[in-house]
Amino acid sequence: MTADTIADAGLYCAGEVRRFDRDRYLTALTAPHARRGDLFALYAFNLEIAKTAEVVSEAMIGRIRLQWWRDAIGEAYSGRPRDHAVLRPLAAAIQERGFTQAHFERLIDARERDLEAWQPATLAELEAYARETSVPLLWLALEALDQNTEPARAVAESLGVAWALTGLLRAVPFLARRKRLILPRETMDASGAQARDLLELRPSVALNGVVEAVAARAAEHLAAARQVRPRPPKPAHPALILATLAQGHLARLRRARYDPFDPRVQWPDPGAAWRLTWARLRGSY
The pTM assigned to this predicted structure is 0.95
The pLDDT score that the predictor gives to residue 3 is 52
Name the average pLDDT for the chain.
Answer: 95
Q: Where are the domains of the chain?
A: 1-115, 117-285
Question: Which band of pLDDT confidence, cut at 50, 70 and 90, is reported for residue 10?
Answer: confident
> What's the CATH code, domain 1-115?
1.10.600.10
User: Minimal CA–CA distance to 216: which of 154, 263, 169?
Assistant: 169
Alpha-carbon span 248 to 272, nearest angstrom: 8
Cα 132 versus chain centre, distance = 10
Alpha-carbon span 265 to 92, nearest angstrom: 37
The pLDDT score that the predictor gives to residue 252 is 95
Arithmetic mean of pLDDT, 251-258: 96
117-285: same fold as 1-115?
yes
The pLDDT score that the predictor gives to residue 266 is 87
Asked if the model's pLDDT at residue 175 lies above 70, the reply is yes
Arithmetic mean of pLDDT, 176-199: 95
Tens-digit pLDDT profile for residues 103-136: 999 999 999 999 998 999 999 999 999 999 999 9
229 exposed, middle or buried (CB, 10 Å; 0-12, 13-18, 19+)? exposed
The pLDDT score that the predictor gives to residue 164 is 98
The pLDDT score that the predictor gives to residue 119 is 96
Tens-digit pLDDT profile for residues 205-217: 999 999 999 999 9
Asked if the model's pLDDT at residue 277 lies above 60, the reply is yes
The pLDDT score that the predictor gives to residue 117 is 86
Question: Which band of pLDDT confidence, cut at 50, 70 and 90, is reported for residue 5?
Answer: low
Asked if the model's pLDDT at residue 198 lies above 60, the reply is yes
> What's the CATH code, domain 117-285?
1.10.600.10
The pLDDT score that the predictor gives to residue 6 is 60
Q: What is the DSSP code string of the chain?
A: --HHHHHHHHHHHHHHHHHH-HHHHHHHTTS-HHHHHHHHHHHHHHHHHHTHHHH-SSHHHHHHHHHHHHHHHHHHHTT---S-TTHHHHHHHHHHH---HHHHHHHHHHGGGGGS----SSHHHHHHHHHHHHHHHHHHHHHHTT---HHHHHHHHHHHHHHHHHHHHHTHHHHHHTT---S-HHHHHHHT--HHHHHTT---HHHHHHHHHHHHHHHHHHHHHHT-SSPPPGGGHHHHTHHHHHHHHHHHHHHTTT-TT-HHHHS--TTHHHHHHHHHHHT--
